[in-house]
Amino acid sequence: MIRFISLFAITALFGGSLPAWSATHAPVPVHIRGTIQRMAGDLLTVRSASGPVWVRLASPLKVEALVPSSLSHVKDGSFVGITSVPQPNGSQRAVEIHVFPKSMRGAGEGTRPWDWPGRSSAGSASHSRMTNGTVSHLRKPGRSPRSRMTNGTVTREHGRSALTVRYRTGAATGSQTIIIPAHVPVVTFVSGSRSDLKPGAHVFIMAARHPNGKLTAGNILVGKNGVVPPM
């Protein structure tokens, strides 16, 4: 599945950047979710929900691998990312959590609209958000703004039904409280490389569509051992 998304959101997951381009011929940032079909040199073929997609890999290429984790790893001081969707009562519900290693602490800190492909519990488009920050505490569910993905660091744990993530964007600070379902997918990052880009592997690609229609990518998330990137 290919989703068009803002340039800010496309770099938000890692806090990285896309290759520079001319402002007069700016590529359109997109997210690609799917399964690798073929790797031929620098050309990657991905089977997405909308059909095959061909992506030219940039150099240098940043590859991060995802492996299963659990809520037990969301502790005081953890830096996490959460994709959430709005609920009918106005609260936010997590649809996935990714736990960042210390080496990626601070990546994409803040909160912004996201393009999670699912739907909210009300049956409408998800209106999801990504929030990167520091978890401050876990507690029973409460009300919170519309959906977000939250990356942050945990400070105190009061329960497992909801958590609050605090983040800083420039000189400003903010927080987001999110309901955590019992079986929410939780993943974490390990070192990845081009060798992980094998047929059958599930990927989440931050790409750019150029005026000629071609796609290039400098950042890829790939699931290890069948893991599907949940973001």
Residue 137: CB atoms within 10 Å: 17
Q: List Cα–Cα distances, 213 to 41, 46, 210, 231, in angstroms.
A: 20, 16, 5, 25
Q: Is 161 helix (H, G, I), strand (E, B) or coil?
A: coil
Which H/E stretch holds residue 217?
strand 215-223
How far does CA 125 lie from the centroid of its chain? 17
- Residue 132 exposed, middle or buried by CB count within 10 Å (0-12, 13-18, 19+): buried
Q: Which two tokens stand for residue 159?
A: 């329960």
Separation of first and last alpha carbons in the chain: 12
**Amino acid letter, 151:** N
* Percent helix, strand and coil across the chain, each to the nearest 5: 10, 50, 40
Predicted local distance difference test score (pLDDT) of residue 10 = 42
Q: Which residue type does 68 have?
A: P
CA distance linking residue 163 with residue 203, whole number of Å: 28
Residue 196: its pLDDT value, please? Answer: 96
pLDDT digits over 164-206, tens only? 999 988 888 999 899 999 889 999 999 999 999 999 999 999 9
Looking at residue 149, its pLDDT comes to 60
Three-state SS at 162: strand
pLDDT score recorded for residue 136: 84
Please tell me the predicted confidence (pLDDT) of residue 157. Answer: 38
**Predicted local confidence at residue 170, as pLDDT:** 83
How far lies 184's CA from each of 71, 94, 103, in Å? 9, 7, 24
Bridge partners of residue 135, in order along the sequence: 165
Cα separation, 173 vs 179, in Å, equals 21
pTM of this prediction? 0.79
Q: Residue 37's CB: how many other CB atoms inside 10 A?
A: 14
**CB-based contacts of 128: which residues, under 8 Å, 6+ apart?**
83, 84, 85, 95, 113, 114, 115, 116, 118, 147, 148, 149
pLDDT value for 132? 94
How far apart are alpha carbons 218 and 19 in whole angstroms?
A: 7
Respond yes or no on whether the N-terminal peptide bond of residue 60 is cis (omega within 30° of 0): yes
6 in Cβ contact with 29 (< 8 Å)? yes
Per-10-residue mean pLDDT for the chain, 231 residues long?
47 52 69 96 95 96 96 89 90 93 93 84 71 79 47 46 88 90 94 95 96 94 96 93
